[in-house]
Amino acid sequence: MDWTTIREGDVTTAQHAELATLLRGAFAHLPGLYQGLRTWSGLRPESRVVGRDADGTAAAAGVLRRFIQVGHTDQLVAVVGIVAVRPSLQGRGTGGDLMKRVNAHLADLQVPFGILTCADRHVAFYGRAGWHRLTPPRRAVFSRDDTGEAAPFADEIEPNTLVLPVAAALADWPEGDLFWHCAPI
């Protein structure tokens, strides 16, 4: 497997096509999300960690630095999302290799924390990669998709918000609800 980290502006049309194919396969339960050359959901990432093998793009994850408000603290984080492994490679260690490279990329970015949300079935996977689930679950206020028309914000309890201490200690994570796009409401 050949691994690379690439800035979003440097992703070619051909690479978007391969990424879209990977994402359609990995997220088959979300039909219509990764149509054509669309390779993001919500906001476009700023960079991607990509693994390629003889069959093309095999694994990828997106990273986006941003501030979110946690309680009353403006917290710099690197949001990790669109984590995908080709279905034929799942369960073979490729996802673990991907997350090692994602974690190293976050260290290169010198952010205090990484943050992601995931389904229950993926919590243990991220835990093995050094990520920690916030307990108790936190209220999260966010936009489901920043790329389309304005829509009401989601306001829900997010049971699987995970953080990775990068340039800070886990004990430094602030207490409180998470406001991804707005001040507390």
- Report residue 79 as tokens: 């949001």
For the entire predicted model, the pTM comes to 0.92
SS3 156: strand
Is residue 76 within 8 A of residue 111, CB to CB? The reply is: yes
Express each pLDDT in 54-79 by its tens digit: 999 999 999 999 999 999 999 999 99
SS3 98: helix
Nearest to 19 by CA among 72, 54, 56: 56
Cα–Cα dist 63/179, whole Å: 18
Judge whether residue 153 has pLDDT over 80.
Answer: no
SS3 97: helix
Nearest to 167 by CA among 114, 90, 84, 110: 110
Q: Kindly provide the b/e burial profile for residues 52-61, where b requires at least 16 CB atoms within 10 angstroms of the residue's own CB.
A: beeeebbbbb
Express each pLDDT in 86-120 by its tens digit: 999 999 999 999 999 999 999 999 999 999 999 99
Banded pLDDT at 184 (limits 50, 70, 90): low
Banded pLDDT at 183 (limits 50, 70, 90): low
